[in-house]
Chain A
């Protein structure tokens, strides 16, 4: 038990995590490219035409994965924030920091693709519906987190302040998730249900899951590359960064 704890804390040091992050990034990039390629092929050539929405429903294959990732990344960031506050590890805050732009991008894409789906199906680009509004708040939480971080000069203080913002904002995640049940909304109910059979064709479901795992691997790859940049920037006065970069030139 004790040795296991030591092992985990070993990787909480930025210096040991830096080379590991590169390996994770390479593997995830390969997985992401393969899955997204398969997912795109299935999105257009394998998944059948929807009986109600025709070809227009194919937006689901980017809309749902992007929306899930926007929520999932936020929860992961909040988890890192909590770890950082409890154990006072620098790397936790760096991980949260590295995920934020990708999460914000997926929140934006969720709203964008939703808008492009809403126009032909509901006849409007935008509506202040519970789910859409709470997803917009999620985008603002990401932007607020990034703005707060960069507004505080002392990085460690910035870590703590922004960690608290992240933890408070978690309340929005169940609101997004359950909004279609709690309120009478224009947005349709969940496509995937855990307690009953999904209201979806199997091929469509598999395609959506493949795209989701592809987006997931993409997020891991991008955040690992970004955390390496963040580590270098924040640890630039430490001797290992100097050796690493001094040796390269």
Chain B
């Protein structure tokens, strides 16, 4: 096991490469999901507010 993680002495370089790639490819979808939800919430709120204003105008 320790031998596997040592990567024949190249541990820093191999794990530094795979680690950075994994980090980016996990972070990007997570950040994207957060941003998408934020946009949906904002637009839904906008639509709701406009409908309320419209109803008040009719009353």
Whether both chains belong to one complex is answered with yes
Q: Tell me the smallest distance from the CB of A218 to a CB of chain B, in Å.
A: 6
Q: In this complex, which of B7, B21, B29, B36 has the most chain A Cβ atoms within 10 angstroms of its Cβ?
A: B21
Flag if B47 contacts A226 (CB, 8 Å).
no
**A54-B10, A112-B17 are known contacts. Are A101 and B43 too (CB-CB below 8 A)?**
no
Q: Interface residue tally of chain B, by bracket?
A: 20 to 34
The listed residue (B4, B12, B43) touching A241 by CB distance below 8 A is: B43
Q: Quick one: given A116-B16, A245-B44, A249-B44, are A56 and B36 in contact (CB under 8 Å)?
A: no
Rounded to whole angstroms, the CA-CA distance of A179 and B16 in the bound complex is: 26
Tell me if B57 counts as interface (CB < 8 A to partner A): no
User: Given A59, A105, A229, A248, which contacts B28 in the complex, CB threshold below 8 Å?
Assistant: A105
Establish whether residues B48 and A246, one from each chain, have CB atoms under 8 Å apart when the complex forms: yes
Beyond the given pairs A55-B10, A63-B17, 6 more chain A to chain B contacts, judged by CB atoms under 8 angstroms and listed by A's residue number, are A44-B4, A56-B9, A105-B25, A232-B43, A245-B40, A245-B44
A246 to B50, CA, bound (A): 11
B interface, CB within 8 angstroms of A: 4, 7-10, 12-14, 16-18, 20-21, 24-25, 28-29, 32-33, 35-36, 39-40, 43-44, 46-48, 51
Alpha-carbon distance A116/B16, docked complex (angstroms) = 7
Closest chain B residue to A110, Cβ basis: B21
Q: Pick the 4 closest A-B CB pairs, nearest first.
A: A56-B10, A55-B8, A113-B17, A55-B7
> Within 8 Å of chain B (Cβ to Cβ): is A236?
yes
Rounded to whole Å, the gap between the CB of A51 and the closest CB of chain B is 12
**A residues near B, CB below 8 A?**
44, 49, 54-56, 58-59, 62-63, 66, 101-102, 105, 108-109, 112-113, 116-117, 119-120, 218, 221-222, 225-226, 228-229, 232-233, 236, 241-242, 245-246, 248-249
B44 surroundings in chain A (CB, below 8 A)? 245-246, 248-249
